Structure 1
Amino acid sequence: MRLVVLGGGESGVGTAILGKKKGYDVFVSDFGKIKENYREILTINGIKWEDEKHSEDLILNADVVMKSPGIPEKAPIVKKLLELNVPVISEIEFAIQFTNAVTIGITGSNGKTTTTLLTYHLLKQGGLNVGLAGNIGKSFAWQVAENKFDYYVLELSSFQLDGIVNYKPHIAIITNLSPDHLDRYNYDYNLYIASKFKITQNQTEDDFLIIDHDDVEINKWLHNHSIKAQIIPFSISSTVEKGGYINEQNISSNINNEQLTMPINELALEGKHNVKNAMAATAVAQLLKIRKQTIRESLSNFQGAEHRLEKVLKIQNVQYVNDSKATNVNATFFALDSMNTPTVWIVGGVDKGNDYDELMSLVREKVKGIVCLGVDNAKLFQTFNNVVDVMVETTSMEEAVKIAQRMAEKGDTVLLSPCCASFDLFENYEDRGRQFKNAVHNL
């Protein structure tokens, strides 16, 4: 069996290693440059690879192709493969056939990283032999090749879900839906939503789908489509019979007729959206019979995700917050919503078709100044120029932080929540977040 892997990054190399171990004839092809460390790993493992090209004679003869999530369906090589009826699948789909582990699959437009890390933390603290993979950390295929976990918590992007045929998580979570990555879905929001719901397409009556009951789009989709999984809702605005809701100042979670109560002020993470993330993770822990006391302790001692509302430093009584992972309007909405002090907002980057009007009321209420950090800031200026007192443009993180420091007074917050992708000035959102933190430490 010939396995061709398109993309020589984390998921590609992991798939190649698993494929080799399972006796496939493996070839890795990357149209860009493969990083040095990944080249070494492929070479050491005796796996053939090429980069900066796709050689059709070495690719089109595949029995199966694993396409890395970053490569669009529209890529010429992918189109050719599909015309030849060669199966093109995702890493998750390839790897799942080689493990009997129970998987918890987590998707959504925002909150999925935090929910994934939090769920993993709860299950690990509860004593389960659990791995963490997907969009985060070490590739799932790589771990299936090298480790023997009984459970996996997987963060799944819509791109990973697009390449699924038979994969089914025992427990799935859809945190919420908001327009994101529409450039990959012909600017059709419904295609993007359908892609997220692929997470439940193979689930049976014995499986569970945990959803945000307050999310209009999720409810609309469920109203128009039937699914087999047992639905467990969570809500911060209404009481639900089964699932999570707010009762006075507590989270109340009712699963398998077991009621768990947790005071909201004891949660490690602040903000309404994190109450929801905690409800989703708690539901998983309860379904997997983790002790209530362990769940409560884990929710209160959890360390949040890097680059997601991460408190960096307080300098002259100004709090600096790194929310570089906020690459869309919805994520920035959560960030601004959780600010309780006047805020200097650093924003900008590659705009994926953002509608900034949704942020208008929060910006009026909370933001005193805006620092635009992007190559093209015209749309931001158009939207907010008359709303805030000061608005400045820059193309360097160091300068952005210095300008923000000058704008901020005692008791304020400086928030990096870019609302956009990072590729105009940075390698990725991690690079952007690290540069922000370095700049703050250098003040």
Structure 2
Amino acid sequence: MSKAMVFGKGLSGMGAKELLEKKEYEVFLIDDNGGIPSSEGIDLLNRENIDFIVKSPGISWKAELLQKASEKKVKVISEIDLAYRYMDKNTKIISFTGTNGKTTTCTKMYELLKYAGYNVKLAGNAGYSFAKLVADEEILDYIVLELSSYQLENNPQVHSHIAGIINLTPDHLTRYKSVEDYYITKFNIFEKQDKNDFALINLDDEQFEKINNIKDINEKIKAQKMFLSTEKKGTVFVHEDNIYIMKNLNERIEFHRDENVDKVAEKLMHIKEIALKGKHNLENMLFLIGAAKILDISNEKIIQFLKNTKSLEHRLENFFIKEKTTFINDSKGTNVESTLKAIDSFESSLILICGGDDKKISNDELIKKIKEKIDFVYLIGENAPLLEKELQAVRYLKYSNMETVENILKYLKENMDFSKEQVVLFSPATSSFCQFKNFEHRGKVFKELTEKILG
């Protein structure tokens, strides 16, 4: 019997274990908190003839077990590549990555395809195991994959019919040698595409263009390119607050359109008709529209879907109103850029709750935005003292380090005038493993405590 190790007992690890056992592998589940301890896993590597190791995405490549595997030349693969190895290749993959917006874009892509009548599933970083999906052997038209940079490491083999990088901003710098290394990893999403596939390109993303100009990176994109922009350029673009689609989808030249737009493009809808608000969501929906047009989904279905779709939990989620004060759960704001976009989505008086882990990245843009638009900011987590110093440096004094969400909400109950027209935005601008399991746990705790304390 063939033998394999699964390193990590999370969602992806358990899915990998199920798929491997279905393929008649003897599986050793390695996890220090509920499986075989990694120290014993090293002994197993020495004793057993292990074919390969399936590594969960969150596990560092510096782990001793993986170092030992490298010495013994035991191959290490991802759960994504394991699943792709066994999936029905008649099913087409649509995949998105990016620093922000990938969960919204992938979830809404899945929902739109379902609305259009296709048999489709969502998997990957969106919270569903790709391997478990393959193990279930359901006949599907499409699988929508949300792929993080962690899942795109180590020469990924997954072949996407449609792929896109939504945006690029600095993140995960405790894992990568440099911000460029992080960006280049994202470009692996295009690696296995060919001329029959499609790459969706965000023309508005300066970092994408900077990395794309590197010759060997540009050569990764062998697919047909579709260009997206919130300005008057590209294949799917915005002009005078209307979304336009080029009548000839093969016209993929990057240029500003000075001619009569209506001669070369068809108007889809006004951006105010889209149910999901904010410029960041407009960016996400352009990717959705681009993919939908490639798949020949009708304009009528696209329009109706975009008019009626609902926001995701933990992403600018309006969940609680007390008198005239609205509480927004944006726990999905796990980096600075995401929180900047969240702040820019509101015009009213804004109170911000932010802070968490110290990711060792610059907070300059966040501090600048706080000074410009935030009436008051409450800080939590391990990087709160650092944010305090940075706020003091720009002479912004309307802040308080309250350490925890619970402390903030108790303080607001006693001191806030809820009769004012205002928004309390919970958008941490970082991860919070110092206090929570993940952003979902963080968001649920915030919502539960808000309703419990403020009632």
The 8 Å contact of residues 385 and 401 in structure 2, kept in 1 or not, is answered as no
Pair 1:369–1:408, CA change in 2 (3 A): farther
The 8 Å contact of residues 105 and 155 in structure 1, kept in 2 or not, is answered as yes
Instruction: Note the residue ranges of structure 2 that are not aligned, 5 or more in a row.
Output: 250-264
Q: Deviation string for 1:198-229 (max 9, x for gaps)? A: 00111111111112111111112222232211
In the alignment, does 2:339 pair up with 1:332? yes
Q: Distance in 2 between matches of 1:131 and 1:233?
A: 26
In the alignment, does 2:223 pair up with 1:248? no
> What is the aligned length?
425
In the alignment, does 2:414 pair up with 1:402? no
Q: Identify the match of residue 264 of structure 1 among 271, 281, 297.
A: 271
Q: Deviation string for 1:108-150 (max 9, x for gaps)? A: 0001001111111111101111000001232010011103222
> In structure 1, what is the equivalent of residue 95 of structure 2?
105
1:389 Cα offset (Å) = 4.5
Q: Distance in 2 between matches of 1:260 and 1:23?
A: 53
- Structure 1 length-normalised TM: 0.92
Instruction: Output aligned runs, 1:201-350, within 5 Å.
Output: 201-224=191-214, 225-226=218-219, 227-240=221-234, 242=235, 244-254=236-246, 257=249, 259=266, 261-350=268-357
Using the TM superposition, name which of 298-307 and 264-273 deviates more: 298-307
> In structure 2, what is the equivalent of residue 74 of structure 1?
62
- Structure 2 length-normalised TM: 0.89
> In structure 2, what is the equivalent of residue 141 of structure 1?
131
In the alignment, does 2:149 pair up with 1:158? yes
Between the aligned residues of both structures, percent identity stands at 38
Q: Distance in 1 between matches of 2:432 and 2:161?
A: 34
Using the TM superposition, name which of 265-274 and 214-223 deviates more: 214-223
Pair 1:235–1:85, CA change in 2 (3 A): same
Letter in 2 for 1:315: K
Q: Identify the match of residue 56 of structure 1 among 33, 42, 65.
A: 42
Instruction: Note the residue ranges of structure 1 that are not aligned, 5 or more in a row.
Output: 35-48
1:348 Cα offset (Å) = 0.7
> In structure 1, what is the equivalent of residue 176 of structure 2?
185
Letter in 1 for 2:326: Q
Pair 1:404–1:251, CA change in 2 (3 A): farther
Instruction: Output aligned runs, 1:420-439, within 5 Å.
Output: 420-439=430-449
Pair 1:376–1:178, CA change in 2 (3 A): closer
The 8 Å contact of residues 213 and 234 in structure 1, kept in 2 or not, is answered as yes
> In structure 2, what is the equivalent of residue 169 of structure 1?
160
The 8 Å contact of residues 388 and 401 in structure 2, kept in 1 or not, is answered as no
Q: Distance in 2 between matches of 1:238 and 1:87?
A: 47
The 8 Å contact of residues 4 and 59 in structure 1, kept in 2 or not, is answered as no
Pair 1:362–1:375, CA change in 2 (3 A): closer
Q: Distance in 2 between matches of 1:165 and 1:415?
A: 37
Q: Distance in 2 between matches of 1:259 and 1:124?
A: 25
The 8 Å contact of residues 395 and 425 in structure 1, kept in 2 or not, is answered as no
1:90 Cα offset (Å) = 0.7
> In structure 1, what is the equivalent of residue 365 of structure 2?
358
SS of residue paired to 1:183:
coil
The 8 Å contact of residues 349 and 373 in structure 1, kept in 2 or not, is answered as yes
Letter in 2 for 1:58: L
1:233 Cα offset (Å) = 1.7
Letter in 1 for 2:158: Y
In the alignment, does 2:108 pair up with 1:118? yes
Letter in 1 for 2:173: L
